[in-house]
């Protein structure tokens, strides 16, 4: 009976190739051959199931044709389009001998789904939503989502730890698979976990990594649910997926995307280095401004110091000059008054002598009284002026150097000029010191200033 079925199938198919679309539910290898369980499902209900076989000779050709996509194409859960011969075996029953797999159909289907997902994200406003979040200038607390042990995960951490600046970042890792359609659920769960962590403790950014691979390997990062989750995150998400030329939809919804995992590490380090450089530049500008202000204020203080030191001396010189001038004026006016009074007395005396013979005794008495009054007033004025002169003389003596020496002070001179500032002295210089009792010569051994030195900028 089985032979009749086999003959009838051969007669009906005539050895022709048939194109079939089916989903791989299981895959196994035995020797050089590959065995697939192919199914057709609708709404979660299985409608049909067949066995597919790729014999060793065809398997080598298909492996070469698919190249890097081979493992991803023949992965359970993947829907494929293939050409096959129908065959019937008395023991194993009906099966399909697969001859070739159309990768273009798979890639075209993937691109169609990618386009539909992108349009849906645009309609929902998901693209750019995470990008509008504020990212710290120095992102130091990050959560890393990836698969430990993979090249991308390892390279990222190595670049981060061995950065040339010695920056130390706080990295928390959440493990999740990053390949295959089954990875969507764990990745979404990992993002939710990172979001909850950011609510409990400060998190600057979430990093999502996956190293390079085939286009089908990266299709998980075009998933609509995964993209929606990233867009809804309340913390900036940075992605580093694939190689330089790869592009996935998670890059469009993320805050920032870099070409590779190592590029993410470099971007973080360069961002921190740029902040440090800007901070150093601002610090140098502040320091320069402070130095300029200190220099300006120092000059002002020096000017005020010189003014304060000179003003009392100028005031004393001015008052001394005014005192001398006043004293000389008093002496001059007194002499002039006495001279005028003397002249007047001579004139009056002459007039008296001329008319004395004709004066009565009463007039003589009056004249004597006037003469006595003039003499008393003259003597009073002379005593008054002498008292003023004595007071001025005492004041001048108090202001003079002699009084200063009597109080125990001394005057040091160099080449006859009084020394007012120790900076005018140098070790080895000969100076003359005057005391009340005399003078003596000495040699300068050391010069000390009581003024605190100004620090250099």
**Which residues lie closer than 8 Å to 73 by C-beta, 6 or more apart?**
66, 80, 101, 103, 106, 216
Q: How confident is the model at residue 455 (pLDDT cuts 50, 70, 90)?
A: very low
Q: Percentage of the chain surpassing pLDDT 90?
A: 20
| 254 and 208 Cβ atoms separated by less than 8 Å | yes
Backbone dihedral angles phi then psi of residue 442, each to the nearest 5 degrees:
-150, 165
Alpha-carbon gap, residue 187 to 174, rounded angstroms? 9
Q: What angle do CA 26, 31, 32 make, to 5 degrees?
A: 90
Report, as an integer, the average pLDDT of 327-355. 79
Report, as an integer, the average pLDDT of 73-84. 78
What's the confidence (pLDDT) of residue 7? 64
Q: How confident is the model at residue 133 (pLDDT cuts 50, 70, 90)?
A: very high
68 to 14, 103, 156, 215, 315: CA distances (angstroms): 34, 11, 23, 9, 99
DSSP secondary structure letters along 410-423? -EEEETTEE---GG
| 235 and 132 Cβ atoms separated by less than 8 Å | no
Q: How many CA atoms lie within 13 A of 99 on its CB side?
A: 11
Give the E-state strand segments of 45-122 in sequence order: 45-54, 79-89, 93-101
Q: Are strands 205-210 and 79-89 parallel, antiparallel or unpaired?
A: unpaired
What's the confidence (pLDDT) of residue 229? 94
| 33 and 59 Cβ atoms separated by less than 8 Å | yes
Is the pLDDT confidence value at 440 over 50? Answer: yes
Report, as an integer, the average pLDDT of 3-20. 67
Lowest average pLDDT, out of 2-11, 172-181, 240-249, goes to 2-11
Is the pLDDT confidence value at 22 over 70? Answer: yes
Report, as an integer, the average pLDDT of 249-271. 91
Among 384, 274, 374, 286, CA closest to 330: 384
Q: How confident is the model at residue 414 (pLDDT cuts 50, 70, 90)?
A: confident
Alpha-carbon gap, residue 148 to 351, rounded angstroms? 139
Alpha-carbon gap, residue 324 to 238, rounded angstroms? 90
Lowest average pLDDT, out of 12-26, 220-234, 376-390, goes to 12-26
Token pair in block for residue 258: 């870099």
Lowest average pLDDT, out of 54-63, 135-144, 308-317, goes to 308-317
Report, as an integer, the average pLDDT of 317-344. 81
Pick the more confident residue, 361 or 429. Answer: 429
**Which residues lie closer than 8 Å to 39 by C-beta, 6 or more apart?**
22, 23, 25, 46, 48, 49, 50
What's the confidence (pLDDT) of residue 143? 94
33-62 confidence digits (pLDDT tens): 898 888 887 766 778 888 888 888 888 888
Indicate the average pLDDT of the chain.
82
Report, as an integer, the average pLDDT of 207-225. 80
| 152 and 211 Cβ atoms separated by less than 8 Å | yes
What's the confidence (pLDDT) of residue 228? 94
Report, as an integer, the average pLDDT of 58-84. 80
Is the pLDDT confidence value at 145 over 50? Answer: yes
| Whole-prediction pTM | 0.50
Domains of the chain, CATH where assigned: 2-101 (2.40.50.140), 136-276 (3.40.50.280), 401-457 (no CATH)
What's the confidence (pLDDT) of residue 254? 93
Q: What angle do CA 231, 237, 243 make, to 5 degrees?
A: 105
Burial 181-200 (b: 16+ CB within 10 A, else e): eebbebbbebbeebbebbee
Block residue for tokens 């081979």: 70
DSSP code of residue 359: -
408 to 48, 402, 411, 434: CA distances (angstroms): 126, 10, 10, 11
Lowest average pLDDT, out of 25-29, 262-266, 393-397, goes to 393-397
87-112 confidence digits (pLDDT tens): 776 656 678 888 888 776 676 777 78
| 323 and 392 Cβ atoms separated by less than 8 Å | yes
Token pair in block for residue 155: 């390279």
Alpha-carbon gap, residue 287 to 282, rounded angstroms? 9
Pick the more confident residue, 129 or 3. Answer: 129
Q: Residue 189: helix, strand or coil by DSSP? A: helix
What's the confidence (pLDDT) of residue 44? 67
Q: How many CB atoms lie within 10 A of CB 207?
A: 28
Report, as an integer, the average pLDDT of 393-419. 78
What's the confidence (pLDDT) of residue 130? 93
What's the confidence (pLDDT) of residue 399? 67
What's the confidence (pLDDT) of residue 456? 44
């Amino acid at each position: 009976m089985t032979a009749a079925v086999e003959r009838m199938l051969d007669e009906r198919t005539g050895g022709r190739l048939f194109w079939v679309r089916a989903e791989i539910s299981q895959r196994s290898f035995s020797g050089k051959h590959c065995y697939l369980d192919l199914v057709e499902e609708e709404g979660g209900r299985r409608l049909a199931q067949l066995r597919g076989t790729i014999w060793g000779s065809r398997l080598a050709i298909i492996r070469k044709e698919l190249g890097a996509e081979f493992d991803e194409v023949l992965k359970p859960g993947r829907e494929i389009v293939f050409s096959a011969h129908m065959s019937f075996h008395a023991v194993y029953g009906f099966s399909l001998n697969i001859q070739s797999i159309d990768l273009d159909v798979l890639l075209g289907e993937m691109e169609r789904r990618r386009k539909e997902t992108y349009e849906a994200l645009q309609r929902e406003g998901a693209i750019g939503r995470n990008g509008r979040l504020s990212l710290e200038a120095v992102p130091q607390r990050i959560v890393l989502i990836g698969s430990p042990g993979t090249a991308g995960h390892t390279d990222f951490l190595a670049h981060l730890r061995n950065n040339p600046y010695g920056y130390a970042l706080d990295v928390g890792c959440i493990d999740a698979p990053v390949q295959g359609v089954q990875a969507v659920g764990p990745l979404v769960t990992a993002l939710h976990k990172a979001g909850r962590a950011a609510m409990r403790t400060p998190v600057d950014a979430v990093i999502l990594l996956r190293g390079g691979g085939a286009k089908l390997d990266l299709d998980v990062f075009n998933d609509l649910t995964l993209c929606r989750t990233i867009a809804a995150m309340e913390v900036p998400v940075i992605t580093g997926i694939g190689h330089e030329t790869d592009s996935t939809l998670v890059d469009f919804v993320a805050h920032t995307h870099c070409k590779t995992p190592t590029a993410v590490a470099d971007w973080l380090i360069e961002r921190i280095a740029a902040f440090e450089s800007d901070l150093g530049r601002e610090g140098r500008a502040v320091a320069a401004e402070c130095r300029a202000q200190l220099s300006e204020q120092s000059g002002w203080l020096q000017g005020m110091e010189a003014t304060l030191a000179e003003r009392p001396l100028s005031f004393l010189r001015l008052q001394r000059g005014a005192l001398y001038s006043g004293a000389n004026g008093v002496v001059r006016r007194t002499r002039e008054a006495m001279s005028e009074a003397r002249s007047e007395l001579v004139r009056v005396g002459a007039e008296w002598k001329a008319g004395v013979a004709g004066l009565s005794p009463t007039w003589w008495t009056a004249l004597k009284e006037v003469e006595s009054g003039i003499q008393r007033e003259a003597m009073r004025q002379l005593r008054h002026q002498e008292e003023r002169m004595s007071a001025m003389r005492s004041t001048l003596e108090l202001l003079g150097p002699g009084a200063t020496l009597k109080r125990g002070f001394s005057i040091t001179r160099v080449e006859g000029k009084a020394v007012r500032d120790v900076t005018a002295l140098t070790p080895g210089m000969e100076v003359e010191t005057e005391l009340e009792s005399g003078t003596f010569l000495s040699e300068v051994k050391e010069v000390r200033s009581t003024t605190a030195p100004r620090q250099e900028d």
